[in-house]
Chain A
Amino acid sequence: MTSPLKAYKRANGAWGLRNQVLILPMHSALSSTARAIADGSDGAVAISHDWSGEKDNDLARIIFTLSGYASNPNIFATIFLSIGNPEEEQIIKGAQALGLTRFTNLLLPEIGSMEKLQQEAITLANGYVKEAGAQERVDAPWSAIVLGLECGGSDALSGITANPALGVASDRLVELGASSVLGETTEILGAEHLLAARAIDPAVGKKIVEMVARYEDSINYEGIDIRGAQPSRGNIEGGLSTLEEKSLGAAKKAGNAPFTGTLEFGEIPKVAGLYFMDTPGHDIEQLAGFGAGHINVVVFTSGRGTPTGSAIMPTIKVSTNTPMYESIPDLIDLDAGTIADGIETLAQVGDRIFDEIVQVANGKLTKAERGGHHEFALSRMYKTVVK
């Protein structure tokens, strides 16, 4: 099947499905300024976060996350808002090493105040937005798609309707030469042996099992059993009984293709294929990991419904049940509840998801994009409380 994709080609060979101008605050005190810049511009986007330059145990993870995010191929240009700390230089250098070519670093101390910073950044952002608008999409191969697989607010139908239907779409894309990345380590806990059995070689399988064990250890060091907190309250109300049951359903998003490899949080896949990335179950932290890992489109299945999206990655929502789809129409792009009602087959819904991914890749806006949902959260491995 010839690729119908048209995308933005980046200097390092990566493909952008969007051409965003990102305002990236390097300090939490500049988050509100970043939002004001985006709101005051002709279409730039911003993220907010709560990192204030703390040099704690999560520093390397935070620098890596922001470098990766700032250089995502869906970005035309990034405007960094800096205080002048050395870690900010590290973030920018990291982003350049990962392919970012067009950026400006605005230094608050050089500009003099947040108010002046805001004015200067809006002018700059509008210039970039204009340039980005003039760039044309060109014919792109199937490998241009790097799909992220996510679920949130799962219910008893997740593993029967939306997740396996997404698996059909993922398998088709991987077969054609695209990449697909399953995240959320929390949500494969108990199903890791099934995924490991699909690894292209025993080393990859071993790595999947090790990543899950490592995750469980990182929780257990606090004396907590993750099974006491998962499934979440909403999952249980939605009909899920155990974490393992949730995991068996969640893993179906990755279809039946073999696993090419594993990725650390925010790591970029080097060759096309199906991957597992070690990310937390927290939907927004996990989306930040996908963004840092240069994923350029996400499909997000949900049983309960969620408005969240991303500043840089189009996020397609798929409902597991029709009543939810009908009750919150402005959140969900596609309904997979038709499978449970016997109206459509798994394959038919899988094909619909596939078609939607292609259309969104070519520029169709998702509901989260139209609603301006740009949630963001940094993932931390350690406590923030200093004792």
Chain B
Amino acid sequence: MTISIKGFDHGNRGAGIRNHQLILPTVVCSTHVSRRIATEVGAVTFAHQHGCGIIGDDVAGIDNFFVSLADHPNVASVLAVGLGCETIQSQELAAKLLSRNKSTQYRIIQESGGVEGTVAAGVKAAHELSEAFPSAPAAVVKLRVGLDFGREVSSAAALQQLLKDEGCDVVVAHSEASSAETFSKLSQENVHVIISFPSDSQPASGFPLIPVINVAGSGVLHMAIRGDFDIDESTLLTGIVELLTTVAAGSETVAEKSKSGEIRAPRVVRSA
């Protein structure tokens, strides 16, 4: 038996299990405007603190990180929103994205009449993108599953085998402390969905573009906030295939419902 999913055709990014429109703030200064646009059109966005005051290898690193978010198979279209004077220039980033996918536009606050002007222009652009690039249904032939291990999980090997037997691609990552940067790394690996095992001292968390299935451990914190998790580690092997199948088919995880989780890009240099 293999997991079979009806997803969305996202062109050269592959088939996705979500049909997200991403409002991508290219700098911390445009996160508020991006949120207003996203709220109005029902798109996804996220707060972050990157895009300016970055130096050295972080300039290319953060730029590539944004490109990888826009390239994710769960993304239908992208509206990049920039301020205008930042290190990462949204029109250049958008040009990069456009060369890969036509379903991209950008708006710049300093050139669009300020906040209200940019919100209005952004909402219009987001609607245009949705209309111009409707997603056709497509089969997700191979579900790519990211496993985020923030703690020792006795059934880890059995889980990987189970997922492979179900025909999934499995990408494994280990969190040092929180899952924030691990999720970012897994998103760059284009996983469709993440199964996360946060450490006993960490809460459940999410990632805006990717459904995250949080697995509760038996520690005090996880048991106290069991409602924030999707499944228990003790019943994982018997329940995960069914849960994964329903989530991949569109059922929202707890973290998706609560929109929990910020995006943190890996940084190699301090801020300037």
For the complex, give the distance between the alpha carbons of A138 and B30 in Å.
37
Residues of B within 8 A of A383 (CB): 267-270
Asked if B259 is an interface residue, CB under 8 A from chain A, the answer is yes
**Known A234-B86, A328-B117: A114·B258 in contact at CB below 8 Å:** yes
C-alpha spacing A184/B143, complex, angstroms: 47
Interface residues of B in 203-260 (CB under 8 A from A): 203-206, 220-221, 224-228, 258-260
- For chain B, residues 134 to 153, give those with C-beta under 8 angstroms from any C-beta of chain A: none
Number of interface residues of A (CB under 8 A): 77
* 10 examples of A-B residue contacts, CB within 8 angstroms: A55-B177, A84-B221, A108-B203, A114-B203, A224-B269, A226-B272, A229-B54, A234-B85, A374-B32, A383-B268
Stretch at the interface among A23-31, A71-79, A358-366: A23-31
- CB of B187 within 8 A of chain A? no
Secondary structure call for the A interface: loop
Establish whether residues A280 and B271, one from each chain, have CB atoms under 8 Å apart when the complex forms: yes
Stretch in contact with the other chain, from A120-128, A267-275, A301-309:
A301-309
Check A305–B110 contact: CB distance below 8 A: yes
Chain B nearest CB, measured from A385 CB (Å): 5
A54 & B85 in contact (Cβ 8 Å cutoff): no
- The verdict on A229 contacting B272 (CB below 8 Å), with A305-B84, A377-B49 known, is yes
Q: Chain B residues with Cβ under 8 A from A372's Cβ?
A: 32
Q: How far is the CB of B187 from chain A (nearest CB, A)?
A: 15
Max chain A Cβ within 10 angstroms of own Cβ: one of B29, B54, B181, B201: B29
**Using a Cβ–Cβ cut-off of 8 Å, how many residues does chain B contribute to the interface with A?**
61
B54 proximity list for chain A (CB < 8 A): 229
Are the C-beta atoms of A112 and B29 separated by less than 8 Å? no
Contact in complex: B86, A307 (CB < 8 Å):
no
Q: B264 an interface residue at 8 Å Cβ cutoff?
A: yes
Q: In the complex, A307 Cα to B27 Cα: how many Å? A: 12
User: Is there contact, CB below 8 Å, between A307 and B115?
Assistant: yes
B227 shortest CB reach to chain A, Å? 4
| Contact yes or no, B33 A307, CB < 8 A | yes
Q: How far is the CA of A71 from the CA of B62 in the complex (A)?
A: 33
B202 interface residue (CB < 8 Å to A): yes
Closest to B32 in A: A373
Expressed in whole angstroms, the minimum distance between the Cβ of B255 and any Cβ of chain A is 8
B55 and A330 contact, CB distance less than 8 A = no
Smallest CB gap from B201: residue in A: A85
